[in-house]
Amino acid sequence: MSNPTIQEEVTIKFAGDSGDGMQLTGGLFTDNTALTGSDLATYPDFPAEIRAPAGTLPGVSGFQIHFGSVQIFTPGDEYDVLVVMNAAALKTNLRALKTSGTIIVNTDGFDKKNLRLAKYPDDENPLENGSLQGYEVIPIPITKLTRECLAESSLSTKEQDRCKNMFVLGFLYWRYSRDMDETLKYLNSKFSRKPDILQANVSVLKAGYHFGETTETYSARYAVKAAPLEPGVYRGIMGNEALVMGLITASKKSKLPLFYGSYPITPASDILHGLASYKKFGVKTFQAEDEIAAVCSAIGASYGGNLAITGTSGPGLALKTEAIGLAMMLELPLVIVNVQRGGPSTGLPTKTEQSDLLQAMYGRNGESPVPVIAAKSPGDCFFTAIEACRIAIQHMTPVILLSDGYIANSAEPWKFPKASDIPEIEVTFKKANPDEVFEPYQRNEKLARPWAIPGTPGLAHRIGGLEKEAVTGNVSYDPANHEYMVKTREARIEIIADYLPLQKVEAGPDQGDLLIIGWGSTYGAIASVTKSLLARGKSVAHTHLRHIKPFPKNLGELLKKFDKILVPELNNGQLAKLLRDKYMVQVYQYNKIQGMPISKSELEHAVLQLLD
């Protein structure tokens, strides 16, 4: 066997019909890649429809992975390798394939019917008309070979065809010089009760691998080495998964039972599924009748002394608006997770966007300040969840945590912490004191009021959404008191900044020509552009905001140290607006509103233009 060619980084896109199992193939390839020690980032590209008709363009489901022996920040711009299971998959994905890239193609997905469904002109087959000239095309009759491999099996043709993704996986394992043990273990546990299906998947996986070996003559073999990641123990992590674990960790660290009230919505539902499966940690999940009941039940649970969370996506946040205003007025701890998706209205449910920042900041009636924090990567969702809970509890306030569809569903290697390394979250429930009259709105040094939960002897009191008198919390329509309370509610959110770390530059100089400032899922793209421009000697720095309301105390100072400020965002310039408003600085924008992450190359191009 020839020695494999060593590559530094590779981007592969798996694309097929929703029924072709591309997400699973991508996921297994990702797990396998992680075990080689390469760094990686992935990005699933779900069809908008649950089950669009087979073979059609809207039915194409994709999974992208970028891995390398260097640090990997993004799922990659253009692919080196495109795997297509049918004609529709080729048509929707070809445009992002690199010039002279490789196409691994299931030729059985290009019959007359498939071509027609993919809307190719009559009698035109892209595999035969020369349109793929310049690419390396590896044609494999995958469906046929899969069926041949399973000729002896008791499975129906339909069931046999479902194994063809394993052929692809096996072939790629051969191509990238991989070991299959972990995948075999996975299949064994997944199908332990279905020996026929297990056997079929294993055979086809091996058949794909052997096909690579025997046809070596026309297809080269590659390997990507381990990346210089920090030493330690790693796992693969996706954003929603990390949120689930972060919330449970916060519950344990605060010794408060976790209550999660939610209504199913893409792309936040996996948080509900995840938490519902961890009842053993005492987690109470409540699938409410609607978004409003979801947040209201959480407020009720918070009043009752639980660590209360509600999760949703943009349209759901809009529905929760009035109740969040009440939580702000009641000054009760609550975390509202918003896994943002493309808006406005129903928008692009399966696509990513950062366009709910202003909604999170301002989307309530009256003067209604609520802390806003954002996660920057899948692993960071874990820490951001804990941070949101800490702020909510210690400052007695609802907190909005922003994630997005990209972070939620993409994966990265994560050097996870030990539970014992996470600090405890101190909780003090008010107890009656015979020497004092209990005042529900008496404030401490953080301007936070006491958390007095029903059932506590001697503290019976009433709270509500009507304006309240300072200290006593009694209903008050007094004009001066109202203004005082509005100012106090703003001050008590701003005071949180006293308890936050100062904003740091992630990469690059502390002062210079250009500061790129981002928040949320643009982290990877900005980090990779900054790294490459610094290597070229440019005076560029990157800072990334976790805390948006309130901003870290030194942010204004930091901004002043650079000649230019650029804010890349997946929206029309929402953080840029906030920065201009607060600091009166000139801010350049780079905005992409296509339901997709910002790519490294387009951002690099924009930065270079600004530096000229």
Partner 1 sequence: MSTNPPTNGQMAPLKAKDFATDQDVRWCPGCGDYSILKQVQTVFADLALDKDKVAVISGIGCSSRFPYYMETYGMHSIHGRAPAFATGLKIANPDLSVWVVTGDGDGFSIGGNHLMHALRRNINIKILVFNNQIYGLTKGQYSPTSELMKRTKSTPMGSIDYPVNPGAFALGAHASFVARSMDRDPKHLKEMLHRCHEHAGTTFLEIYQNCNIFNDGAFFAFTEKDTKEDNCLFLEHDQPLIFGSEKSKGIRLNGMKPQVVDLAAGKFNQDDLWVHDEKDIFKATLLSHFFDDPRENGALPRPFGVIYASERPTYENMLEAQITEAEDGGADLDALIAGPTTWEIK
* Binding to partner 1 in span 230-289, by CB under 8 A: 230-237, 245, 248-249, 252, 257, 259, 261, 278-284, 286, 288-289
Question: Which span sits near partner 1 by CB under 8 A: 170-178, 214-222, 296-304, 590-598?
Answer: 296-304
Work out whether strand 79-84 and strand 222-224 pair parallel, antiparallel, or are unpaired. unpaired
Residues 414-433 that bind partner 1 (CB under 8 A): 415-419
Q: Phi/psi of residue 66, each to 5°? A: -120, 120
CA pair distance 570, 62, nearest whole angstrom = 21
| Residues touching partner 1, count (CB under 8 A) | 80
Query: Contacts by 458-461 with C-beta closer than 8 Å and gap 24+?
Result: 458/432, 459/430, 459/431, 459/432
CA pair distance 198, 194, nearest whole angstrom = 6
Determine which residue in the list 296, 391, 500, 607 makes contact with partner 1, applying CB under 8 A. Answer: 296
Provide, rounded to whole angstroms, the least separation between the CB of residue 328 and partner 1.
12
Determine which residue in the list 8, 179, 213, 290 makes contact with partner 1, applying CB under 8 A. Answer: 290
Q: Which helix (H) or strand (E) holds 145?
A: helix 142-149
Based on the shown chain and the rule CB under 8 A, indicate whether residue 304 belongs to the binding site for partner 1: yes
> What is the contact mask toward partner 1 in residues 143 to 172, using x (rule: CB under 8 A)?
------------------------------
**Number of Cβ atoms within 10 Å of the Cβ of 168:** 27
Provide, rounded to whole angstroms, the least separation between the CB of residue 310 and partner 1.
10
> What is the contact mask toward partner 1 in residues 459 to 488, using x (rule: CB under 8 A)?
xxxxxxxx-----xxxx-------------
Provide, rounded to whole angstroms, the least separation between the CB of residue 42 and partner 1.
15
Determine which residue in the list 57, 198, 229, 348 makes contact with partner 1, applying CB under 8 A. Answer: 229
Listed in sequence order, the residues at least 6 apart from 251 whose beta carbon sits closer than 8 Å to its beta carbon are: 257, 258, 281, 282, 283, 307, 389
Q: Residue length, the chain? A: 612
Provide, rounded to whole angstroms, the least separation between the CB of residue 574 and partner 1.
27
Nearer to partner 1, 15 or 309 (CB): 309
Nearer to partner 1, 119 or 273 (CB): 273
Nearer to partner 1, 364 or 547 (CB): 364
Q: Phi/psi of residue 254, each to 5°? A: -100, -5
The one-character DSSP state at 377 is S
Residues 437-456 that bind partner 1 (CB under 8 A): 437-440, 453-456
Check the CA dihedral 15-17-21-24 and report its sign: positive
CA–chain centroid gap for 37, Å, is 22
Determine which residue in the list 130, 195, 423, 457 makes contact with partner 1, applying CB under 8 A. Answer: 457
CA pair distance 508, 526, nearest whole angstrom = 12
Nearer to partner 1, 139 or 417 (CB): 417
CA–CA distance from 420 to each of 202, 232, 249, 501 (Å)? 40, 16, 10, 21
Based on the shown chain and the rule CB under 8 A, indicate whether residue 435 belongs to the binding site for partner 1: no
CA pair distance 3, 177, nearest whole angstrom = 10
Residues 388-417 that bind partner 1 (CB under 8 A): 415-417
Nearer to partner 1, 135 or 278 (CB): 278
Nearer to partner 1, 218 or 477 (CB): 477
Work out whether strand 398-404 and strand 334-340 pair parallel, antiparallel, or are unpaired. parallel
Nearer to partner 1, 93 or 302 (CB): 302
Find out whether 73 and 33 touch, Cβ atoms under 8 Å: no
Provide, rounded to whole angstroms, the least separation between the CB of residue 209 and partner 1.
21
Nearer to partner 1, 453 or 596 (CB): 453
> What is the contact mask toward partner 1 in residues 20 to 39, using x (rule: CB under 8 A)?
-----------x--xx-x--
Nearer to partner 1, 229 or 427 (CB): 229
Q: Which residues of 71-84 are buried (b: 16+ CB within 10 A; e: fewer)?
A: ebbbbbbebbbbbb
Nearer to partner 1, 463 or 534 (CB): 463
Nearer to partner 1, 100 or 189 (CB): 189
Provide, rounded to whole angstroms, the least separation between the CB of residue 244 and partner 1.
9
Residues 374-393 that bind partner 1 (CB under 8 A): 382
CA pair distance 32, 205, nearest whole angstrom = 14
Based on the shown chain and the rule CB under 8 A, indicate whether residue 48 belongs to the binding site for partner 1: no
Work out whether strand 372-374 and strand 547-549 pair parallel, antiparallel, or are unpaired. antiparallel
CA pair distance 520, 522, nearest whole angstrom = 6
Provide, rounded to whole angstroms, the least separation between the CB of residue 347 and partner 1.
24
